[in-house]
Structure 1
């Protein structure tokens, strides 16, 4: 993947895990796309690293400078980066940290990789701040939707300077055919309102009586870790899920989630919020499951014809889309096949090539 000499310091957000038992989507992608020359910079590990033997520099903020924890994290990152002296600093999802490092290291070549809507981020929430980022560093987005959100309010020619660096994953060489899969409808992700966890439960409540023998399973918690708190949303949803016959499995390691997708007949991604990319949908398609996903944010770009795009509200429409697949194994098989073909477009190799190109762009023009 490396297309230049020198190391790359890859900076994680302050709450992003990088351990096998505590990791989110950003950490998973950093690990998947890592180059041998990468030095991962992030919070102290909460368990075994995702990349054993790979250099990891923990960030332990002190009491200086005065201010919030985010500022102290950024200041400590800058000191760690100075010690590493990398060719490129690649900051993930934190424009404010990127600003801080750029100010502290004049001339440092930098790449900011955005995984979420920049208009909701400190340091990128106004056109002036986004323009300042573009003037100081290379910027890459995981989807066209995120790219469009970054470009809003900027001059028309600014879009050409905003790169694309999509997520990627390895598509298994073979998967279970639909005829061999369990009759399971699966939700996998954070159990929060934005992800439509309650809409999934409501849809299952409608579907259960007409589909005996089917199971409805929800994997996830409020956070991507085994000690995730029991939030008011979760506490309110649990009795509704039990009444609807939905099994709430709680947090499971990422490998277990992929295994569940590989055996489920249908995976549902009923997000209310505009998903910036939709990694869960990509994983479901790669696993050969029949996918039902919301047409929100970057999901249509990822899903294409590899899944059914269905608005999750009103829930009657969501239930109908799921139920149609439950009743038709041939339709599930056809959709699963299209999903695998679609997922192949987002291979790790392609994602690494895109990231390498963005790093090279940073080296040639960013941070100057």
Structure 2
């Protein structure tokens, strides 16, 4: 099989990462981590070159954005097409960037393409309006990481079960650190994530400042920075939060590699995910459950869908709600043990083995039915 430009098509999948993601340990964000978990032997992963050695899963191809273009997105999309080389894959899977997907689709209009959305599509360029989302569906298939993302994409569109798939995020349960039994865990309340207002970092500090004086022997810790990577910048939000955390006795560890975060979750008694931002999925909550912590999570976005009975739900900005939930969990070891067991059972439903099977079925369907309409849109 050949394309209109006579390049032969192979039988693999090309996975296109967002420009900011780096496909390497210690540099990866959530999307690159998920790509590394799911990548098969024949998959090609394309993205900006990391500083260190890429993950071994699949084969990594660095993208050099084109020298000319109307925008960074256009230059990146052109760079992705060039990086594919003379032999095209049989499917292109673009993660979280409708604008990049459209740029590639215009260059390769007959190529089967899957766009996987990890965030709210209504906040994304080329997906904000129903008309823009319909235009996407005419060129490619769409999947979202949760029912919440799916609902946001379909908002204002004729709803149909086969218009959009749900492809939940996943974890590799076998690769996680062994959870410490609850009775032997550190009496520690842990926050792990970006230290920004959207993630409720200040709500965590506020709640801990109120309850820690009443619970001697318990400590609190925050792992994270403004963004992923050791070179994360200092921000005004952090500058204001650090003295508050210090006054409350909260240890702030800054950015740490993902394996360090998972080990901390496997030893802490309680993990709090107090997001204000509507989480499109909530991978931190899933990892917390999988590593056996007693989880307290916000209800924003897809969090309650992910957590269900595997944790307590508490709004970070309702007066005293987060503080009450924390005191409830700290005071009750059987409750913490029950949440730990229920959370681990819930997390196993998102194991990578099941996710790979769902992805394989979806990719096969996309290859068989690449476009919503009988013919793809023109270039």
Quick one: which of 40, 43, 57 aligns to 2:45?
40
Matches within 5 A, 1:92-103: 92-103=95-106
Secondary structure of residue in 2 paired with 1:97: helix
Matches within 5 A, 1:35-184: 35-51=40-56, 54-65=58-69, 67-157=70-160, 159-171=161-173, 174-184=178-188
Q: What is the rounded CA distance, in whole Å, between the counterparts of 1:326 and 1:50 in structure 2?
A: 39
| Deviation string, structure 1 residues 6-36 (Cα, Å, up to 9, x no partner) | 1100000000121112111101100001111
Q: Which stretch of structure 1 is more off in the superposition, 72-81 or 181-190?
A: 72-81
Q: What is the rounded CA distance, in whole Å, between the counterparts of 2:227 and 2:56 in structure 1?
A: 21
Aligned length: 361
Secondary structure of residue in 1 paired with 2:220: strand
Q: What is the rounded CA distance, in whole Å, between the counterparts of 2:166 and 2:148 in structure 1?
A: 10
Give the corresponding residue for 1:303. 307
| Residues 315/348 of structure 1: CA separation in 2 closer, same or farther (3 Å cut) | farther
Secondary structure of residue in 2 paired with 1:75: helix
Q: What is the rounded CA distance, in whole Å, between the counterparts of 1:171 and 1:328 in structure 2?
A: 27
Secondary structure of residue in 2 paired with 1:131: helix
What is the root-mean-square deviation of aligned Cα atoms in Å? 1.4
**Are positions 1:325 and 2:329 aligned together?**
yes
Secondary structure of residue in 1 paired with 2:190: strand
| Deviation string, structure 1 residues 37-61 (Cα, Å, up to 9, x no partner) | 1100001112121226x42111111
Quick one: which of 202, 207, 221 aligns to 1:198?
202
| Deviation string, structure 1 residues 181-204 (Cα, Å, up to 9, x no partner) | 000000000111100000000000
Bigger relative contact order, structure 1 or 2, given CA contacts below 8 A and separation 6+? 1
Give the corresponding residue for 1:186. 190
Give the corresponding residue for 1:221. 225
Q: What is the rounded CA distance, in whole Å, between the counterparts of 1:224 and 1:293 in structure 2?
A: 21
**Post-superposition offset of 1:212:** 1.0
TM-score, normalisation: structure 1 = 0.95
| Deviation string, structure 1 residues 43-89 (Cα, Å, up to 9, x no partner) | 1112121226x421111113212x22222111111222353400000
| Deviation string, structure 1 residues 309-340 (Cα, Å, up to 9, x no partner) | 11111251101101111111111001100000
Q: Which consecutive unaligned segments of at least 5 residues does structure 2 have? A: 1-9
